[in-house]
Structure 1
Amino acid sequence: MRQAMIMLAALCSAAPAWAEDLPYTADMAQRPNFSKAYHTMTELPEWVSKAAAVSTPMGNIMFNGKAYLVGHLCKPHDCADNQLEVIFSRDGAQAWGLLSQRVEGRLYQMPLGTPDSVLLAAMHAAYRANNQGITP
């Protein structure tokens, strides 16, 4: 992390003088010629957003006296590299996820739905359970 910060600082300090005239990032992301790329970057993969995935039966879990449902999805024909752990509140009003993607052998995981530390730990545990015997 420290190395990344040093690299970012070096890039910023080495920027040419014209960089001072650039707009704010949020403004740039809304410009027509940048907006499409920005929105493409922030979209979830279609197999996630449409739940067009291979899945497992839901399971029941309890945390702090509350019942939840937990499940697992993965991208068809690419389950080893693209997975989603999902926890639903029992009434279906809330959902949280842990999107796991392996790119060039490296695992990237992104929480979805702002889970608290207990729910996030449960999704990490579910990921490990669903991937037993798979080399990281």
Structure 2
Amino acid sequence: MRVKRPQALLAALLLSASAVAHAADTDAEFRLNEVLTDEEYRETWQELVEDELRLPEWVMNLTGKGSPMKAVESKDGKYLVGRLCDEQDCFHQRLYVAFSWDKDKVYALYVQVPQGMPADKAPSRHASFRWLGEPDEEQKRLLDEQLRADPDWH
């Protein structure tokens, strides 16, 4: 009977690992504001922002209001992407982030819409855009698609 218990435990662990691996291949179960709980994501993000100037605290620490992350295929690989915004002002302050699947690279698009803009004006015509992480054209396209898919963007 003792021989079967380690085998059962091993089988349960393998089944659990399989479920985790499957979850990693599908959309993430967490939000961008939770990603820094993973040490690899945290290190990659810190490398990106350590040399950036004049970023708000919520961007530096990814502590704004986050949306669920999702896996996105690109010509140059697979990314985990998500959106974050300032808790106090989601309309005027947005951040779109793409982590490479191996967690070694991260790219971001920081979007600011001017305060006091009339409601009938499209934010896309008045926003400022700041790229973080030196994305190439493909990575910029990926982040720009995330912005355009945002229901609050027009």
**In 2: Cα distance, 1:85 partner to 1:113 partner:** 12
- For 1:58, the equivalent position in structure 2 comes to 69
| CA 1:83–1:117: 2 relative to 1, 3 Å | same
- For 1:108, the equivalent position in structure 2 comes to 128
Greater relative contact order, per chain length (Cα 8 Å cut-off, separation 6+): 2
Q: 1:70 is paired with a residue of what secondary structure?
A: strand
Matches within 5 A, 1:22-41: none
- For 2:141, the equivalent position in structure 1 comes to 121
Q: 1:42 is paired with a residue of what secondary structure?
A: coil
**In 2: Cα distance, 1:133 partner to 1:54 partner:** 14
Listed one character per residue, the Cα deviations across residues 57-104 of structure 1 (whole Å, up to 9, x for unaligned) are: 111111126211111000002000000000001111110000000124
Q: 1:57 is paired with a residue of what secondary structure?
A: coil
TM-score when scaled to structure 1?
0.63
**In 1: Cα distance, 2:127 partner to 2:63 partner:** 22
Runs of 4 or more consecutive aligned structure 1 residues displaced over 3 Å after TM superposition: none
Q: How many residue pairs get matched?
A: 94
**In 1: Cα distance, 2:134 partner to 2:82 partner:** 17
Unaligned runs of 5+ in 2: 1-51, 118-125
- For 1:80, the equivalent position in structure 2 comes to 91
| CA 1:78–1:67: 2 relative to 1, 3 Å | same
**In 1: Cα distance, 2:141 partner to 2:97 partner:** 12
TM-score when scaled to structure 2?
0.56
Q: 1:103 is paired with a residue of what secondary structure?
A: coil
**In 2: Cα distance, 1:65 partner to 1:48 partner:** 26
Deviation at 1:125, TM superposition (A): 1.2
What is the Cα-based RMSD across aligned positions, in Å? 1.8
Deviation at 1:52, TM superposition (A): 1.0
Q: 1:126 is paired with a residue of what secondary structure?
A: helix
